[in-house]
């Protein structure tokens, strides 16, 4: 496993931020650059059936060395979230972390404070990979990629460890909800799979949010402000009013566990045209549908006040709660639990307050729970990854493949 950390440090230096506005796959050219690097690496370590398609989907096979075992898929995504910069990532390792604040960037006074992120104290004595505070790290999901590749490399070097056929799938654009759009489940041909895309050590998830993306388009009227009386209709102000109509206590900062939310992710516009972007999330399907209707009701209220055609809602479902597809095959969750225990990890079965490629794939016939990759503070310049957590995730992969 000696290559694991260096492999991860190499991966994060590729800029693979996804972009929902481009409407192509992969959504950014850096993802294809990284995919080609990974293809070469998978071939170099000895995997077979290594294939990279024109959309940036990379698949490969670790051949079985024994009979009678299921075909297991291991999946991770290559892109990083657009919530924070993923360009020129500069990682460094804080050896034997002392449990105190970590100065990420002395010149810009950027500090990873234990008062704000107290869970980092759980990693006292560990080696913590951090950034310089100006970008995210990319542990979501380059830690998952590194863990899968390293586990396969280890098994190829240790043929005495018996395992079935393993299928590897690396996807683009997961962070913008499009990672499974062109994933060929039939070609992948696994009996079941796991995404290595969770957070802290022990996380094991087989239920997630139902998710939708929403854009509210506001159409205003612009005239010279000196002559705006009874003529101007400022779309920025109307958009602000629309935002204020969403429940203030149903945001990510105010909800936890199984509680859903509305999350305003952006507002872009001028006096004449403004677009409000938000995401809608809920674990319960009925409440999810009600939330989408609530967004439509807000648009109707805006039109009632400012005139028909002032606002319109564009709502697109992204994925659904995988629980209904995994529950009939709960032995795959039990397998992951037992593998964690064998690796010295206490399983923490909990709902995902988000989604993975596995949610979509589960509805396409590939049941796909999610396993921790080890990082914390995803999508943030305060993201970090304990080396020991990444090592545990790789060990869990090995145990799953042996015990299946």
The strand pair at 72-77 and 166-171 is best described as: parallel
Asked if 28 and 18 touch (Cβ cutoff 8 Å), the reply is: yes
pLDDT tens across 326-353, in order?
Answer: 999 999 999 999 999 999 999 999 998 8
Rounded to the nearest 10°, the torsion over CA 133, 250, 286, 194 is: 20
Q: Which long-range contacts (CB under 8 A, 24 or more apart) does 33-37 make?
A: 34/78, 35/78, 35/170, 35/172
Omega of the bond prior to 141 within 30 degrees of 0, cis?
yes
Mean pLDDT for the stretch of residues 160-178: 96
pTM confidence score: 0.86
pLDDT tens across 11-28, in order?
Answer: 999 999 999 899 999 999
- For residue 247, count CB atoms less than 10 angstroms from its CB and return exposed for 0-12, middle for 13-18, buried for 19 or more: exposed
pLDDT tens across 75-103, in order?
Answer: 999 999 999 999 999 999 999 999 999 99
135 Cα distance to chain centroid: 16
pLDDT tens across 103-138, in order?
Answer: 999 999 999 999 999 999 999 999 999 999 999 999
Kind and range of the H or E element at 213? strand 210-219
Tokens 């206590």 correspond to 249
pLDDT tens across 260-306, in order?
Answer: 999 999 999 999 999 999 999 999 999 999 999 999 999 999 999 99
Mapped onto helix, strand or coil, the DSSP state of residue 128 is: strand
Q: What is the average pLDDT score of the chain?
A: 96
Domains delineated in the chain: 4-208+321-403 (3.40.630.10), 210-319 (3.30.70.360)
Asked if 291 and 260 touch (Cβ cutoff 8 Å), the reply is: yes
Please give the positions annotated as active site: 79, 174
Phi-psi region at 384: left, alpha or beta (left = phi > 0; alpha = psi -120 to 50)? beta
Q: In what order do the strands lie in the sheet with 385-386?
A: 92-94, 128-130, 385-386
Mean pLDDT for the stretch of residues 355-382: 94
Distance CA 73, CA 192 (A): 6
Summary count for the chain: helices (H), strands (E): 10, 17
Asked if 111 and 117 touch (Cβ cutoff 8 Å), the reply is: no
Q: How many CB atoms lie within 10 A of CB 202?
A: 20
The predicted pLDDT at position 288 comes to 98
Q: What is the largest distance, in Å, between two alpha-carbon atoms of the chain?
A: 82
DSSP 183: -
1 pLDDT more than 80: no
Percent of the chain with pLDDT over 90: 96
Structure tokens at 248: 């203030």
Distance CA 329, CA 161 (A): 26
Q: Which long-range contacts (CB under 8 A, 24 or more apart) does 184-187 make?
A: 184/57, 185/361, 185/364, 185/365, 185/366, 187/59
Helices (H), 19-167: 29-45, 139-157
Residue 332 bridge partners (DSSP): none
Confidence of residue 2 (pLDDT cuts 50, 70, 90): confident
The strand pair at 370-372 and 192-198 is best described as: parallel
Distance CA 347, CA 36 (A): 35
DSSP 106: T
Confidence of residue 202 (pLDDT cuts 50, 70, 90): very high
95 Cα distance to chain centroid: 27
The pair phi, psi for residue 41, each rounded to 5°, is -70, -45
Q: Say which residues have a Cβ less than 8 Å from residue 209's Cβ, sequence separation at least 6.
A: 260, 281, 282, 283, 288, 319, 321, 352, 353, 354, 355
């Amino acid at each position: 496993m000696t290559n694991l950390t260096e492999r991860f440090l190499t991966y994060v230096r590729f800029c693979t931020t996804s972009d929902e506005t481009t409407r192509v796959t992969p959504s950014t050219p850096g993802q294809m650059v990284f995919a080609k690097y990974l293809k070469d690496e998978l071939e170099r370590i000895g995997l077979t059936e290594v294939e990279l398609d024109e959309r940036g989907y990379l698949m490969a096979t670790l051949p079985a060395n024994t009979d009678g075992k299921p075909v297991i898929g291991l999946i991770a995504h290559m892109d990083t979230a657009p919530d924070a910069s993923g360009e020129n990532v500069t990682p460094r390792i804080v050896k034997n972390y002392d449990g105190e604040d970590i100065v990420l960037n002395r010149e810009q006074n950027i500090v990873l404070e234990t008062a704000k992120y107290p869970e980092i104290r759980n990693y006292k004595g560990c080696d913590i990979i951090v950034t310089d505070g100006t970008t995210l790290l990319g542990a979501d999901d380059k830690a998952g990629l590194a863990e899968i590749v390293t586990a396969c490399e280890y098994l190829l070097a240790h043929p005495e460890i018996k395992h079935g056929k393993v299928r590897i799938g690396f996807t683009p654009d997961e962070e913008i909800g499009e990672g499974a759009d062109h994933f060929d489940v039939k070609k992948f041909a696994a009996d079941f799979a796991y995404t290595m895309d969770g957070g802290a050590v022990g996380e094991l998830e087989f239920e997630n949010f139902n998710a939708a993306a929403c854009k509210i388009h506001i159409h205003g009227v612009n005239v010279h402000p000196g002559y705006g009386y009874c003529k101007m209709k400022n779309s920025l102000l109307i958009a602000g009013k629309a935002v204020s109509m969403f429940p203030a206590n149903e945001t990510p900062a105010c909800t936890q566990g199984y509680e859903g939310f509305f999350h305003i992710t952006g507002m872009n516009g001028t006096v004449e045209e403004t677009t409000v972007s938000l995401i809608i999330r809920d674990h319960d399907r009925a409440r999810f549908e009600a939330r989408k209707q609530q967004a439509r009701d807000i648009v109707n209220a805006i039109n009632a006040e400012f005139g028909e055609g002032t606002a319109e809602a564009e709502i697109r479902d992204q994925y659904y709660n995988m629980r209904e597809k995994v529950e009939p095959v709960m032995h795959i969750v039990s397998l992951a639990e037992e593998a964690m225990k064998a690796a010295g990890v206490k399983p923490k079965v909990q709902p995902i307050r988000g989604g993975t490629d596995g949610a979509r794939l589960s509805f396409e016939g590939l049941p796909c729970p999610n396993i921790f990759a080890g990082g914390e503070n995803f999508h943030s310049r305060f993201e970090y990854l304990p080396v020991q957590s990444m090592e545990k995730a790789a060990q869990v992969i090995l145990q799953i493949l042996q015990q299946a």
